[in-house]
Structure 1
Amino acid sequence: MAEAQLFVSQEEFICSICLHTLTDPVSLHCGHSFCLKCLSDCWDQSQVCSCPQCRHVFMLRPELKRNTLLNEVIKKLKKTAHSSPSSKNYAGPGDVECDFCTGKKFRAVKSCLTCLASFCQTHLQPHYEIAAWKGHKLVDPDRNLKEKLCEKHQKSLEMFCRTDKTCICMMCGMTEHDGHEKVELETEREGKKKQLGATLRGIRRRLEEKEKKLRETRKTVEEMKVS
């Protein structure tokens, strides 16, 4: 049987006292875990032994023993993070964050117009592996996914109505825009891109012609000065 893949990261194993990845983790009866040293120091400085996270009070100071299983999980996560290039792909200013990362978020590599969410490389994998998700429409990371929805039908804007010059969803195309001239949004986008490219080339050509005339005029002036 193939091994199931569990999407977790180091950021999910943070000590709430030092705010770093757990070191020699110990788990209390209330379910919360801390670094052995952090919790010991905390209790040494307090007259009451309580959980620093949920404030559950222990009548007797529990004996702290390292959680062996949790410690091995964290070790493997650290090893995976150091060997994986994705460990350096944290989202920075201007990047689109992964909506499924917890703690410090990774940079999104794709946004899904069907899920209306953005995914890092790890959390994107189900879209390539799960049959029901393979048909979803993936695009480059986009922080304004809600703007891609039709306000009336809450469906993806997949078409362009050339009659009304507006983006519409499939439901709009079958109702109020029925009979209008419509094309796929991507087709209209490519057409506009080509028009813009042609316009820019025309502007550059005219600028080059003006610069050439300016050089010729300057040359003529210099020749007149010499003569």
Structure 2
Amino acid sequence: MAEAQLFVSQDEFTCSVCLDTLTDPVTIPCGHNFCLKCITDYWDQSQEFFCPQCRENFSTRPALRRNTLLNEVIKKLKKTGLSSPPYKIYAIPGDVECDACTGKKFRAVKSCLTCLASFCQTHLQPHYEIAAWKGHKLVDPDRNLKEKLCEKHQKSLEMFCRTDKTFICLMCAMTEHDGHEKVELETEREGKQKQLGATLRGIRKRLEEKEKKLKETRRTVEEMKHRDVPAIMDGLKTRSLYDHHHQVTP
């Protein structure tokens, strides 16, 4: 009988603290796995004991025991090609780093305007799994998150006041901008994009018209050149015959 094949994702054997393949894996009460050293160091630096991945809180520090079965599986998979995460997902100069990574930082895939932090793919998972975090506002990685906060209320700038032409938060919308013409940022962005598109189309049309006129001018110049050359040549021949006649006449 053919041996069954098991297809697994490398993420299933990755520690969400160090983001490397699990070493001395331990399973905590919520069911998530970590390197023994990683979770030990993580809890040593905190007065509360919660899961770094799902954020479940434990009233007392859980006892840690190595997951022998998982450890053997990882050992066997390493022999068949399981390796550390590829270097390309580590943050390089110019990238937005994951704020939750310890040690070597991974590249962030999203920034959260609610948490005011950026997360790599692994540390972003709680935003998709935890009900309280699913409502957070996720955007493309942004290293200037604080600039997206209202200085007065420290809330996300989620609206645009067309009356005052400024970005505002929801608190601003209900207070000093009450009664003003306001729209959501996405609506304003789409409107600006349409205006920009119309402006660009107008510029392209004018450039095409100028290019067309330039080609017509060049064609006219070429036609004039070709039309005038025979006349010039005839004139030169007539002048030559005239000069020759006067030179031979006594």
TM-score by length of 1: 0.66
The aligned counterpart of 1:106 is: 106
Residue 9 (str. 1) matches residue 18 (str. 2): yes
Distance change in 2, residues 1:82/1:223 (3 Å)? farther
Decide whether aligned partners of structure 1 residues 160 and 175 sit closer, same or farther in structure 2, where only a CA change above 3 A counts.
same
Task: Quote how far apart the aligned CAs of 1:82 are.
Answer: 5.0
Q: Is the Cα–Cα contact under 8 Å of residues 11 and 103 in structure 1 kept in the other structure?
A: no
Runs of 4+ in 1 over 6 A off after TM superposition: 10-13
> Residue 11 of structure 1 contacts residue 104 of structure 1 at CA under 8 Å; is this kept in 2?
no
Question: Which residue of 1 is the match for residue 159 of structure 2?
Answer: 159
- Deviations for 1:120-173, whole angstroms, at most 9, x for unmatched residues? 100000000011100001011111110000000000000111100000001101
Query: In the aligned structure 2, how far is the partner of 1:113 from the partner of 1:188?
Result: 19
Partner Cα distance (2:167, 2:123) in 1: 30
> Which residue is 1:97 aligned to?
97
Task: Report what 1:120 is aligned to.
Answer: 120
Segments of structure 1 that go 5 or more residues without pairing to the other structure are 14-26, 32-68
Q: 1:24-63 alignment to 2 at 5 Å? A: none
What is the letter of the counterpart of residue 9 of structure 1? C
- 1:124 alignment partner AA: L
| Percent identity between the two aligned chains | 80
Report the Cα offset of residue 9 of structure 1.
2.1
Amino acid in structure 1 at the alignment position of 2:204: R
Q: What residue in structure 1 maps to residue 61 of structure 2?
A: none
Give the C-alpha shift of residue 84 in structure 1: 6.8
1:99, distance to aligned residue in structure 2 (A): 0.9
Please report how far the alpha carbon of residue 8 of structure 1 lies from its aligned counterpart in structure 2 after TM superposition: 2.4
Q: Which amino acid aligns with 1:188?
A: E
SS of alignment partner, residue 167 of structure 1: strand
Do the aligned residues in 2 keep the contact of 1:11 with 1:102 (CA within 8 Å)?
no
Alpha-carbon contact 1:149-1:157 (below 8 Å) kept = yes
Deviations 1:55-79 (A, max 9, x none): xxxxxxxxxxxxxx7xx97x95995
Structure 2 unaligned regions, length at least 5? 1-11, 23-36, 42-65, 228-250
C-alpha change, 1:88 and 1:82, in structure 2 (3 Å) is farther
**TM-score (normalizing by structure 2):** 0.60
Alpha-carbon distance change, 185 to 222 in structure 1, aligned in 2, over 3 angstroms? same
Deviation, 1:10, is: 6.2
Q: 1:107 to 1:10 in 2, by over 3 A?
A: closer
Q: Which amino acid aligns with 2:176?
A: E
Larger Rg: 2
1:218 aligns with 2:237: no
Q: In the alignment, what sits opposite 1:193?
A: 193
